[in-house]
Chain A
């Protein structure tokens, strides 16, 4: 069942179009991330949903109700802001109570709901603190609690982890995801951090320059990117340019400077393409190579130790630069001859 639907949203700032035909259906209980570089329109999209920006064309539905022109206070949303935006002159309890008082919830119910939510975000005992007396992570959880205590139909999160330390950020990812699963609330999460989107989301919407580049499950986005922008933005990738020469055993045969490469790709692909191979899918061997559908000869140009292994920079015979990961005790050092291999299902061809 759809809880939220964006139907052909267009938005302009003066002459600049910041959102272009945004269509999106979000199901009940789904966790959807809007992911993209800064200026891609993800925060604008969120603010249109929240009602803080008006859309120039298109409609926004909550369930079956058209909420395109509704005031923010009538949309029944919980929102967590990047700056947390806690009320600095109110205690934790008063911050949480605000939305309940506006909804005219009786005092006894308010107290019960606030206590329950505070326990959920592990802040029991902090009721009387002011926001300035809390750490960044605690403020973040108060902001989350304040948005959840009103039991909104949709939870909106605007880069909520951007201002936290790296280690805390990793913990909070799982914390937020767990909480979302327990409460079962439909959630839209804006981030520019692809690994955040990857571990938290049911579905990722990759945006770029005001358009949706791709919308899919994290695995689909990572392994089957629809465009070069998506392939480049999500994780690391090696690309080899070429053109489709035909099909062989269900894979495309792509003619490249490295010779023919067997690669999967979307149906109906033809013409110029980029073959993408993720670094972790490349095998390296000092000898004749580990048997694979695609085998390329090359030379190691650099090897960088990074704790859990080494990153190898390899230049192939055809002049393409590849990056791959090997274990720290790999004998391959700079200058060594190497054979790299990958299977057709580990390569993905993208229209160039």
Chain B
């Protein structure tokens, strides 16, 4: 190759060198407000408890061993994960048809439906949860409706139970599964599903063999989002859960704010983060298998 050509390539390479300093502001923000606090929480979780300061001088593993040895905490871990799982599955089942319809419809009502979909995000979290408080109470709309329909004679306890928390979370997080799915489904060529039908497959068969596999990225993104948000949610379980519906996030706040057990609360928070990360790691591996054939 001639020198002229290679120097031209070098010049072009130079012009396209990534401008790394553009990420500097985001990097500073990330380090100051995410990495540093996390590091300080990790450090705090290994400190001895103290009655006079936030934590004592020595280092200990005691907080972790007591968290891991405590069946009460494992009970709450299990309840939190179960709630997260139920919320994720239910929002997927409820959200998929809505996203599918929105992706395919040519109706002029589509934008109205879209606003309905994001409506849970338009009202403040506390206000919205108060509404659920009213609906789910023993004399509330939900129980009255069930009684009127003849399904129950006495009010069933919804408030201050995991059921109430689950209902509240499903409502809040429905948009988080619909929006990624909508983007995914809109990107799928509608003629692909038509091709399935023309080859003799029913609507159902075409859906399960063509549309559903192609929408796996949207399902993955939406479900991870909802799962993570559900198990780390604080306001909804704190207001609707009572002590029966207490989740890990509520427990951590009780440790920190109510009983001032900062190092133990920090250990609990790290424990919770570790469990969340491992669940997501397993889930990513499983879904990656389902998506390995996608472009």
Contact = CB atoms under 8 A, between A and B. Distances in A.
B202 A73 contact: yes
B294 interface: yes
A160 to B, nearest CB: 12
A78 B214 CA distance: 23
A103 interface: yes
B214 A103 contact: no
Contacts of A82: 191
Contact of A85 (B195, B209, B293): B195
B194 interface: yes
Interface string B254-295: 000000000000000000000000000000000000000111
B293 A73 contact: no
Q: Give the interface residue-count category, chain B.
A: 20 to 34
Q: Is the interface of A mostly helix, strand, loop or mixed?
A: loop
B198 A77 contact: yes
Interface of B: 189, 191-192, 194-203, 205, 209-210, 213-214, 293-295
B293 A81 contact: no
A13 B198 CA distance: 23
Interface residues of A, number: 31
Contacts of B213: 89
B220 to A, nearest CB: 14
Contacts of B295: 88-89, 130, 132
28 contacts: A52-B197, A71-B197, A72-B198, A73-B198, A73-B200, A73-B203, A75-B198, A76-B200, A79-B194, A81-B194, A83-B189, A85-B189, A85-B192, A87-B195, A87-B196, A88-B294, A89-B213, A89-B294, A98-B196, A98-B199, A99-B199, A99-B200, A102-B200, A102-B201, A102-B205, A130-B295, A132-B295, A150-B200
B194 A98 contact: no
A85 B294 contact: no
Interface of A: 50-52, 71-79, 81-83, 85-90, 98-99, 102-103, 130, 132, 146-147, 150, 156
A75 B198 CA distance: 8
